[in-house]
């Protein structure tokens, strides 16, 4: 198992990347998932990059951004190449994105064909540089359901297309995460991990709320205390694949929650490893 923290978790904190990396090393994380806007702003200080991060014993697990599939082709290609260069600088082959700005049921066939064509173009660009694009399973996108996600994989039909499996959002779609993983496993390159007290609180993860400094955090809970049973999920998942995952915490008490969740993840991984022996 390789576990990362996300710089997006510290978006409202007055902490430097040096402080975040130091804390990550101190608490035995293996990597840092770099939010796209952070990577772009850090481009102005090129001394920060893969070599610098390796000095902390860390790696960049992924750059998480939002590639503009709806923009002009020129704009989309330029943005993709910019992120590709940033990914090389930070030593990762993985770039995360969303596909579409509305749900699969609300997307017309023409709109879907357009997004599929654009996504295939992105795949071609990244594949040429040994990189991949990870489509996140997320509400109000073409990957908002298991059926649509599988269809998208088939439509794009490209080796550079991978899946960022957000366990909570898969659960939110009404499918048991383990059932979804059974079908998506060959395409999954990363997991996003977060939890919620109950489905009635899922609205707190709406972008307009979760990215706002004054947004509600009601219902956000630590990984092993919420509605999604992560003990069950990882007991099964860890038995059949290597886990590369990021703790995606948006609430308060960031360091304490990340520390507790990472400790429990490692305890569970150690327990399952001992059972195999």
- DSSP secondary structure code for residue 172 in this structure: H
Q: Has 231 been annotated as catalytic?
A: no
d(CA 132, CA 55): 25
Of 38, 89, 138, 190, the active-site residue reads: 138
How high does pLDDT run on average in the chain? 96
pTM exceeds 0.85: yes
DSSP string, 184-202: HGGGEEEEEE-EES-GGGG
Closest CA to 5 of 223, 216, 197: 223
- What's the pLDDT band for 252 if we cut at 50, 70, 90? confident
Structure tokens at 235: 């007991």
- What's the pLDDT band for 114 if we cut at 50, 70, 90? very high
Which residues on adjacent β-strands are paired with residue 97?
135
Residue 130 has a CB neighbour count (10 Å cut-off) of 11
- Asked if 188 and 194 touch (Cβ cutoff 8 Å), the reply is no
| pLDDT at residue 69 in the model | 97
- DSSP secondary structure code for residue 130 in this structure: T
Which residues on adjacent β-strands are paired with residue 161?
133
Tokens 């929650």 belong to residue: 257
Phi then psi for 63, rounded to 5 degrees? -105, 125
| pLDDT at residue 13 in the model | 84
């Amino acid at each position: 198992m390789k576990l990362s923290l996300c710089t997006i978790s510290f978006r409202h904190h007055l902490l430097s990347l040096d402080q975040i990396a130091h804390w990550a090393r101190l608490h035995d994380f293996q990597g840092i998932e770099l939010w796209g806007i952070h990577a772009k702003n850090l481009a102005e200080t090129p001394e920060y990059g893969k070599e610098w991060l390796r000095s902390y014993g860390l790696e960049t697990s992924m750059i998480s951004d939002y590639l503009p599939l709806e923009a002009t082709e020129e704009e989309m290609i330029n943005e993709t190449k910019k992120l590709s260069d940033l990914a090389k600088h930070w030593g990762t082959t993985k770039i995360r994105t969303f596909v579409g700005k509305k749900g699969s049921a609300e997307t017309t066939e023409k709109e879907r064909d357009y997004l599929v064509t654009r996504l295939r173009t992105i795949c071609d660009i990244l594949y040429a540089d040994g990189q991949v694009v990870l489509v996140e399973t997320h509400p109000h996108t073409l990957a908002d359901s298991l059926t649509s996600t599988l269809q998208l994989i088939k439509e794009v039909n490209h080796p550079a297309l991978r899946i960022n499996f957000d366990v909570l959002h898969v659960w939110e779609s009404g499918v048991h995460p383990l059932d979804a993983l059974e079908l998506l496993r060959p395409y999954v390159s990363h997991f996003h991990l977060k939890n919620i007290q109950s489905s009635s609180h899922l609205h707190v993860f709406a972008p307009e709320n979760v990215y706002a400094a004054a947004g509600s955090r009601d219902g956000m809970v630590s990984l092993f205390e919420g509605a999604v049973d992560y003990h069950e999920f990882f007991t099964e998942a860890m038995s059949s694949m290597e886990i590369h995952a990021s703790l995606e915490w948006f609430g308060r008490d960031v360091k304490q929650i990340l520390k507790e969740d990472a400790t429990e993840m490692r305890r569970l991984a150690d327990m399952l490893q001992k059972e195999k022996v």
